[in-house]
Chain A
Amino acid sequence: MQVAALREEIAVAPALVPAPDTSGMVRLLTCGSVDDGKSTLIGRMLWDSAAVAEDQRAAIMHASQNRALNGEKVDFSLLLDGLQAEREQGITIDIAWRYFETTDRRFVIIDAPGHEQYTRNMATGASHADVAILLVDARHGVKRQTRRHAAICDLVGIKNVVLAVNKMDLINWSEATFRAIEAEFRALAQSFGFIEIMAIPVAALPGDNVVHRSATMPWYGGPTLLDHLETLDVGTERRDAPFRLPVQLVLRHGDVRGYAGTVASGRIRPGDRIVDARSGLGATIRRITTMDGDLAFAHKGDAVAIELDTDLDISRGAVLSEIARRPINADVLEARLVWLAEAPFDPEAGYLLRTATDLTPVTSMSISALVDFETLASAPAHACGANDIADCRILLGRPASLDLFADLPATGNFVLVSAVDGTTVAGGIITWAQAGASAVGDNVFVLDREMLARGLCSDLGHSPADLAEFHRRAQEAAILLRSVGIPVLIEI
C-alpha cells in the first residue's frame, strides 16, 4: 500500500497540480461568554475594520447614548445583540452567523454561546469553523470553561486556535500575567490536536490589538487579532491525502452517467483508477465534468461529476476512492458524540447513521462512557442526554464506507437521526471501525416491506401520506421488538 501511494505521488508532478486557492474565506468561531467580553471584541473588530453599514452605525451610536453610557463611548456589543436578546427572553440560545470582509479576506463569524448548558450549540457551530478564538479574561486566566471550549474545538476537528487574552487594560497591561496565561494554555493544549496556537493580548473596549496595534503594550511583537486572521493558513490537508468522493447522486444524460459529488479528500485526474469501496468494483476515470468545462484535476472541495469507463451500477452513499487506500466497509464502529436532542438516548428507539452521503439503519447502539470536558476524564455510563459528550458503540444493518475522523474528517464524521421523526439527535466522530463484524446475524430480525404489507399495513396505499404512515408503523413495530431485546433491521 505504501508503495502504491508513493508511486502516485511521483506520477503527479507538483507543477501540474495547482493547489486550489482557498485563502479567500475563513470561518471563525468565537467562544467565550458575554462576561469575557466576546460581543465587545467581535463588535470592535467589525467597527474598526469598517464592516458596519452606516445606518447600523448610527443606530448603535444612538442606542449607546440611550443606555446612558459615557457620551463618546460606543457599546460595540450591540452589533451582536441577537444572542443576548434571546437570553433575556429565555428562548433557545442559538448560533448566529455574521459576515464581513477586509481587502484581503472574506470572514464568516460563527457566534456560539459558551456556557455549559449550550455545549451542543457550541459543538454545532465549531464543526463549521476553520479557526476558533478562545477568549479569556486576563483577570481570571484559563478557567475550566476554557478547557471545555478547547476540547469541543478539538473534538470537531479545529486545527487553528487563537487565545485572545482580553481586558489587558484591567491588569495594567502586564506582560508577566499574559505570558503566564499563555503558558498555562499551551500546556493544557498538549492533549489536543491543534496545529497552530496564537496568543494575543487585547483590550476590546479601547480596541488595543484588535484591529489597531496597541501603543500601551510595546512588549508584544506579534500580530493584532485581525492581522493574524487575515494571514493565517487554513489549508490543513496533507499533500498525500487519499482520494474520496462520496456520491451524492447519479446524473444521467443520454447514455452517460455522471457520479456527482464534492471531493472530500485528495485529488484525482482522468486516467486514474478508482474503486467503489462497498462493492470492490474498480474503473478508470474518463472525464471530470462541470458546466464550465472538463477539469484536468479535481481537488478537495471541488463539486464535480465524474464519468467512468465502465458502469459500476452504484448510487448515492457510495464512496469512490483511490485503490490503495480505501475507506473501511464497516458494520460496527465506535464513536465519540455530542448529544443534541432534548430527548435522551434511548437504546430501544430507532436511529439512522448519516455519514457523508449515506444513511444506514442502526441495529443496536450502546453508550460506554461519558466524558467530562472540563477535567477530560471519562467515566463508564450507559445513558446520555442533551449536551453530554459520550463514547458509544454502534452496529449497522449493512456496511457503510467510512474513515476514522482522525485520518479523514469529511468521511469520518456523522450525525445520528431519529428514524421516527427524522430529527438530528447527535453528531459525532468515528474513532474505530471494523468490517465483517456482521451485525445482521441469525439473531437480527429483518422487518421487510412484504411482511408489513401483508398484515399491519394492508390498509395503506401508495400516496405520500400512506407511505409516511407505513414508515411510522414499521418504526413502532421495531421499537416494540427492541423493547423485548430483539435487534431489528427495517428493510423497506
Chain B
Amino acid sequence: MTALVSHLKLLETESIHIFREAAAQFRAPVLLYSIGKDSTVLLHLARKAFWPGKPPFPLLHIDTTWKFRDMIAFRDKTAREFGLDLIVHTNHDGLARDINPFDQNPSVYTDIMKTQALRAALDAGGFDAAFGGARRDEEASRAKERVFSFRATGHRWEPRRQRPEMWTLLNGRLGKGETVRVFPLSNWTEGDVWRYIALEKLDVVPLYFAAPRPVVSRDGQLIMVDDERMKLLAGEKPEVRRIRFRTLGCWPLTAAVESDASDIDAVVQEVLRAKNSERAGRLIDHDQAAAMEMKKREGYF
C-alpha cells in the first residue's frame, strides 16, 4: 500500500467506529441518503460497521422532485440491491404551492423543499439521530463541526450547545428535546471519497462521469437540461457538451463542469488536480455570504 492508500484504511476504521458508537447510544437513528458520492461512501461504511447484519436503521431521502432522473434510478436500485428500508419524503405542501428552483430564489426554495422537508421527516419518524455525509473540508463553516452535532428543539444548530469531543470518546447522552446529526465522514476530503470509491470499486451515479449531455450556459455556469420542465430564458438554446458533475443536487441548481473524465481513474486524477474548491459548483452557496452557516442554523445539515 502506498501512503495515500493506507490513510484511507485509517479513515475507514474511524468511520466504522463512529457508526457503531451512534447505533449503540441512540434509540432511533436514520441515515440521510442523498444519493451522491458521499452518501455512497457513507452507506458502504454503514454496511461494513454492522456486517454480517444489515445497518440497523432506514435510509431517508428528501425528494424535492427536482433530482436528476439518474439519481432516482440509482437510489431505488441501491435500496433494492442491499435490501434496505428506504423512506422517501417530499414536502407536498410546497409542491402544491408550486415552489420550484426556477421561480423562487434558491435559498427560499432550499428552505422549503429541503430544510423544512427534512425537519418534518425527522419529526414524523421520531428519529433521535441522523447520519449525514458532511465533511469538514467542504467549506469554512463546517471546519469546526463536531462528529456528534447536537440540535436543540426544532433542529436548530447552536454553536454554544456543541460539546467538546476528546480522543475517540463520543458522548451521545441527549438533553431534553435534543437530537443529533452524526458525521462519520468528518475527516474525509473530496479526494479521499473518490479514492475510496475507486479502491472499493463502488457504484456511483453515472452523472459523475463525463458524457455528452444537453446543457445551457447561464451566468457562466453550465446547467444540464434533465427534463421538459427546464425554463429557458430568451436566447438560450440547449447544446450538447461533454460534461460531468462534481456534486449532485437538484438539477436546475447544480452546475456541471466540462470534462473528459469518463471513468473512475480519470475522475480521481481530475479531482486531485482540481483548481477550484468543490462547492463552487453549487449555486445555492453563492446566494448569500455565510450561506452555509445560515442554513445550518435553520436545520439544513
Say whether A associates with B: yes
Q: How far is the CA of A359 from the CA of B21 in the complex (A)?
A: 12
Residue pair A422, B6 in contact (C-beta under 8 Å): no
- A92 adjacent to chain B (CB < 8 Å): yes
- B168 adjacent to chain A (CB < 8 Å): yes
Which one, B166, B171, B191, contacts A124 given CB within 8 A?
B166
- A301 adjacent to chain B (CB < 8 Å): yes
Residue pair A427, B10 in contact (C-beta under 8 Å): no
Q: How far is the CB of A426 from chain B (nearest CB, A)?
A: 9
Interface segment out of the listed B231-239, B240-248, B273-281: B273-281
Q: How far is the CA of A92 from the CA of B162 in the complex (A)?
A: 10
Residue pair B178, A422 in contact (C-beta under 8 Å): yes
Number of interface residues of B (CB under 8 A): 60
Residue pair A124, B52 in contact (C-beta under 8 Å): no
The 0/1 profile, CB within 8 Å of B marked 1, for residues 104-136 of chain A is: 111010000000000011011001100000000
Please classify how large the interface on chain A is, using the bins under 10, 10 to 19, 20 to 34, 35 or more: 35 or more
Known contacts A98-B143, A101-B4, A302-B13; A415/B176 CB under 8 A:
no
Would you list which residues of chain B between 42 and 83 have a CB under 8 Å from chain A? Answer: 47-53
Residue pair B10, A249 in contact (C-beta under 8 Å): no
Residue pair B171, A354 in contact (C-beta under 8 Å): yes
Residue pair B164, A120 in contact (C-beta under 8 Å): yes
- B154 adjacent to chain A (CB < 8 Å): no
Which one, B52, B160, B169, B280, contacts A251 given CB within 8 A?
B52
Q: How far is the CB of B124 from chain A (nearest CB, A)?
A: 14
Residue pair A253, B53 in contact (C-beta under 8 Å): yes
Q: How far is the CA of A414 from the CA of B48 in the complex (A)?
A: 27
Which one, A97, A262, A417, contacts B187 given CB within 8 A?
A97
Q: How far is the CA of A301 from the CA of B12 in the complex (A)?
A: 10
Q: How far is the CB of A119 from chain B (nearest CB, A)?
A: 12
Q: How far is the CB of B173 from chain A (nearest CB, A)?
A: 4
Would you list which residues of chain B between 144 and 198 have a CB under 8 Å from chain A? Answer: 144, 159-160, 162-169, 171, 173-176, 178, 186-187, 189, 191-192
- A343 adjacent to chain B (CB < 8 Å): no
Q: Which residues of A contact B6 (CB under 8 A)?
A: 21-25
Interface segment out of the listed A50-58, A275-283, A440-448: A50-58
Known contacts A261-B20, A289-B51, A301-B13; A414/B169 CB under 8 A:
yes
Q: Which residues of B contact A258 (CB under 8 A)?
A: 52
Chain A residue at minimum C-beta to C-beta distance from B163 = A424
Residue pair B51, A291 in contact (C-beta under 8 Å): yes
- B137 adjacent to chain A (CB < 8 Å): yes
Q: Which residues of B contact A168 (CB under 8 A)?
A: none
Q: Which residues of B contact A106 (CB under 8 A)?
A: 3-4, 7, 189, 192
Q: Which residues of A contact B192 (CB under 8 A)?
A: 106
Known contacts A82-B140, A99-B136, A303-B16; A25/B275 CB under 8 A:
no
Chain B CB count within 10 A is highest, among A21, A22, A156, for: A21
Residue pair A303, B143 in contact (C-beta under 8 Å): no
Q: How far is the CA of A106 from the CA of B169 in the complex (A)?
A: 23
Residue pair B3, A23 in contact (C-beta under 8 Å): yes
Q: Which residues of B contact A120 (CB under 8 A)?
A: 164
Chain B residue at minimum C-beta to C-beta distance from A128 = B167
Residue pair B50, A251 in contact (C-beta under 8 Å): yes
Q: Which residues of B contact A82 (CB under 8 A)?
A: 140, 143-144
Would you list which residues of chain A between 421 and 470 have a CB under 8 Å from chain B? Answer: 421-424, 427, 464, 468
- A472 adjacent to chain B (CB < 8 Å): yes
Chain B CB count within 10 A is highest, among A101, A248, A352, for: A248
Chain A residue at minimum C-beta to C-beta distance from B17 = A262
Q: How far is the CA of A427 from the CA of B276 in the complex (A)?
A: 39
Which one, B12, B17, B53, B160, contacts A252 given CB within 8 A?
B53
The 0/1 profile, CB within 8 Å of B marked 1, for residues 244-273 of chain A is: 000011011100101011100000000000
Known contacts A24-B6, A316-B24, A422-B175; A127/B187 CB under 8 A:
no
Task: Determine chain A's interface SS by DSSP, over half rule.
Answer: mixed
Chain A residue at minimum C-beta to C-beta distance from B12 = A303
Q: Which residues of B contact A103 (CB under 8 A)?
A: 4
- B283 adjacent to chain A (CB < 8 Å): no
Residue pair B23, A249 in contact (C-beta under 8 Å): yes
The 0/1 profile, CB within 8 Å of B marked 1, for residues 41-70 of chain A is: 000000000000111100000000000000
Residue pair A156, B173 in contact (C-beta under 8 Å): no
Would you list which residues of chain B between 100 and 128 have a CB under 8 Å from chain A? Answer: 126, 128
Q: How far is the CB of B57 from chain A (nearest CB, A)?
A: 13
Would you list which residues of chain A between 82 and 101 have a CB under 8 Å from chain B? Answer: 82, 91-92, 94-99, 101
- B11 adjacent to chain A (CB < 8 Å): yes
Residue pair A25, B144 in contact (C-beta under 8 Å): no
Q: How far is the CA of A92 from the CA of B146 in the complex (A)?
A: 14
- B27 adjacent to chain A (CB < 8 Å): yes
Residue pair B171, A415 in contact (C-beta under 8 Å): yes
Q: How far is the CA of A120 from the CA of B16 in the complex (A)?
A: 27
Q: Which residues of A contact B274 (CB under 8 A)?
A: 53
Q: Which residues of A contact B140 (CB under 8 A)?
A: 82
Chain A CB count within 10 A is highest, among B169, B178, B280, for: B169
Q: How far is the CA of A256 from the CA of B51 in the complex (A)?
A: 12
- B96 adjacent to chain A (CB < 8 Å): no
Q: How far is the CA of A128 from the CA of B168 in the complex (A)?
A: 8
Chain B residue at minimum C-beta to C-beta distance from A468 = B176
Q: Which residues of B contact A290 (CB under 8 A)?
A: 48, 51
Q: How far is the CA of A252 from the CA of B56 in the complex (A)?
A: 11
Q: How far is the CA of A289 from the CA of B137 in the complex (A)?
A: 32
- B230 adjacent to chain A (CB < 8 Å): no
- B88 adjacent to chain A (CB < 8 Å): no
Give 26 A-B contacts (CB < 8 Å), ordered by A residue. A22-B6, A24-B2, A25-B10, A92-B160, A94-B159, A94-B162, A96-B144, A98-B136, A98-B137, A106-B3, A108-B187, A120-B164, A127-B166, A128-B166, A156-B167, A248-B17, A249-B20, A251-B51, A303-B16, A305-B51, A355-B169, A410-B167, A415-B166, A423-B163, A427-B169, A464-B126
- 16 further A-B contacts with Cβ under 8 Å, apart from A21-B6, A25-B6, are A24-B10, A82-B144, A98-B137, A99-B136, A105-B3, A105-B4, A105-B7, A248-B24, A249-B23, A251-B52, A262-B16, A301-B13, A303-B12, A303-B17, A359-B173, A422-B178
Identify the 6 closest CB pairs spanning chains A and B, nearest first.
Answer: A24-B7, A422-B173, A54-B275, A24-B6, A25-B7, A303-B16
